[in-house]
């Protein structure tokens, strides 16, 4: 049996959820530097949280020797700082495992279209 | 607690959580710092040495593979080194970006200088790589989560490299001359790699186990390493002074008088 949320808690939770989705949508505009696929569809975004006006992003990479790590972090920051209500972006590299299974169906289609996967 | 932001020029891009990890037991903390430096340096120098063959392998495929392995190894070292800054330890070893960044090395002496032959490259990949992997397996479930996550990720990437290294051993041993050259490299490297896990019951390793920071003792790691490498070597016609009895591998006397416990290396090369 799930816990019953009060009206206030429900509102707060819904607002956080909406903010999370807005950030995820914004990150869909941030492309991997090598392929025309977003970081979200590539499966690199592993968590989105907020602490006031700070967005906390958990990120992994396709490989530990990824040469574009700095570039990806810069692009994430640059895009999110444009968003209303976000003054700071904190990125934690979590080094969770990544494989092709983490690519979304849309991402796979986009990669197939350019001859990858 | 570090106040430096992620992903700037001040912080290596592989840096993880900013929260400082606390270890009450000083022996365990010292051993943890040492283990991280040892993993980082061996991965770094393995990558560096293999990189020197990224335009000189015996086949186009092996040359390309050297480039790919280099990218993996240097990336892994960049992910490991920042942990040294997170631990509350005064003046930890710095991470390496270049060969002469720091005088004291925590890598095996076999990797000190450019590898002089393809047989040496195969020996390094087949004997150093699996040793590092055993240590990573020992910390894969460490309560130091930042290290555990990286260990898990490196081991995941290593599956392909390990399979490739095994195929290189079979290839080089297929012909008598290659087998003889590889045998010489194994003879030179194996004693150092067996020492690398340390004498059984080493205080630092025991402290790591007691604190839940590592799961395996010295001998357990060495036996697991031998489980992994000896069958392949023997099957490929390489002679090693190691025999299996009913319970464990027997390997005779190891050159402990030349062993540098801090830097986890034999001192025969004269390098500090």
Location of structure tokens 């022996």: B27
Asked if the Cβ–Cβ distance from B72 to A90 is below 8 Å, we say: no
Chain B residues in contact with A94 by the CB 8 A cut-off are 16, 149
Q: Provide residues of B within 8 Å CB-CB of chain A.
A: 5-7, 13-18, 70-76, 78-79, 149-150, 152-154, 156-157
pLDDT of residue B6: 31
Chain A residues in contact with B73 by the CB 8 A cut-off are 65
pLDDT of residue A9: 64
pLDDT in tens, B97-142: 888 778 899 999 999 999 999 999 999 999 999 999 999 999 999 9
pLDDT of residue B11: 36
Token digits of residue A15: 């607002």
CB-CB contact of A35 with A99 (8 Å): no
Higher-pLDDT residue of A37 and A11 is A37
pLDDT of residue A8: 64
pLDDT of residue B272: 43
Count contacts between A and B (CB, < 8 Å): 60
Chain A residues in contact with B79 by the CB 8 A cut-off are 64, 93, 95
Give the one of B7, B18, B157 whose C-beta lies nearest to A63's C-beta: B157
pLDDT in tens, A69-89: 999 999 999 999 999 999 999
Give the one of B73, B74, B152 whose C-beta lies nearest to A97's C-beta: B152
pLDDT of residue B113: 95
The nearest alpha carbon in chain A to B67 belongs to A65
Chain B residues in contact with A73 by the CB 8 A cut-off are 6-7, 13
* Residue A10 reports pLDDT greater than 90: no
pLDDT in tens, A91-116: 999 999 999 999 999 999 999 999 98
CATH numbers and ranges of domains, chain A: 8-106 (3.30.300.130)
Asked if the Cβ–Cβ distance from B7 to A66 is below 8 Å, we say: no
Residues of chain B with pLDDT under 50: 1-17, 270-272
pLDDT of residue B149: 95
Token digits of residue B61: 């495929």
Of B39, B36, B64, B37, the residue nearest B51 (C-alpha):
B64
CB-CB contact of B88 with B2 (8 Å): no
Torsions phi, psi for B117 (to 5 deg): -155, 165
Of A38, A70, A73, the residue nearest A57 (C-alpha):
A73
Query: Do the bridges between strand A88-93 and strand B243-244 make them parallel or antiparallel, or are there none, so unpaired?
Result: unpaired
pLDDT of residue A3: 55
Chain A residues in contact with B17 by the CB 8 A cut-off are 92
Average pLDDT, chain A: 91
CATH numbers and ranges of domains, chain B: 26-93+107-266 (1.20.1260.10)
Give the one of A73, A77, A93 whose C-beta lies nearest to B16's C-beta: A93
**β-bridge mates for residue A51, sequence order:** A54
Q: Å from A4 to nearest chain B CA?
A: 33
pLDDT of residue B9: 35
Asked if the Cβ–Cβ distance from A94 to B14 is below 8 Å, we say: no
């Amino acid at each position: 049996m799930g816990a019953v949320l009060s009206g206030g808690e429900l509102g707060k939770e819904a607002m956080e959820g909406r903010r999370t989705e807005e950030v995820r949508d914004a990150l869909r505009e941030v492309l991997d530097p090598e392929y025309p696929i977003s970081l979200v569809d590539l499966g690199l975004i592993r968590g989105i949280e907020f602490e006031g006006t700070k967005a906390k992003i958990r990120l992994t990479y396709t490989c530990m020797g990824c040469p574009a790590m700095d570039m990806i972090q810069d692009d994430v920051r640059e895009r999110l700082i444009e968003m209303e209500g976000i003054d700071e972006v904190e990125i934690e590299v979590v080094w969770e495992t990544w494989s092709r299974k983490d690519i979304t169906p849309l991402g796979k289609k986009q990669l197939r279209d350019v001859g990858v996967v | 607690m570090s106040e430096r932001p992620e992903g700037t020029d001040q912080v290596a891009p592989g840096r993880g959580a900013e929260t400082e990890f606390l270890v009450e037991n000083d022996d365990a903390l010292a051993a943890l710092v040492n283990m991280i430096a040892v993993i980082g340096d061996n991965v770094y120098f393995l990558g560096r040495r293999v990189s020197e063959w990224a335009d000189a392998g015996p086949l186009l495929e092996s040359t390309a593979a050297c480039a790919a392995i280099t990218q993996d190894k240097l990336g892994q070292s960049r992910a490991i080194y920042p942990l040294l800054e997170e631990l509350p330890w005064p003046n930890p070893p710095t991470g390496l970006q270049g060969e002469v960044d720091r005088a004291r090395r925590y890598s095996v002496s076999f990797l000190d200088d450019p590898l002089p032959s393809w047989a040496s490259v195969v020996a390094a990949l087949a004997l150093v790589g699996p040793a590092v992997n055993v240590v990573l397996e020992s910390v894969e479930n460490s309560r130091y989560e930042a290290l555990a996550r990286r260990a898990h990720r490196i081991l995941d990437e290593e599956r392909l490299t390990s399979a490739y290294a095994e195929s290189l051993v079979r290839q080089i041993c297929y012909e008598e001359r290659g087998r003889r050259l590889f045998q010489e490299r194994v003879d030179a490297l194996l004693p150092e790699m067996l020492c690398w896990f340390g004498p059984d019951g080493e205080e630092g390793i025991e402290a790591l186990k007691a604190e839940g920071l590592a799961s395996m003792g010295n001998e357990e790691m060495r036996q697991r390493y031998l489980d992994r490498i000896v069958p392949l070597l023997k099957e490929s016609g390489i002679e090693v002074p190691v025999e299996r009895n009913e319970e464990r591998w027997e390997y005779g006397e190891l050159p402990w008088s030349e062993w540098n416990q801090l830097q986890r290396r034999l001192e025969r090369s004269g390098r500090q």
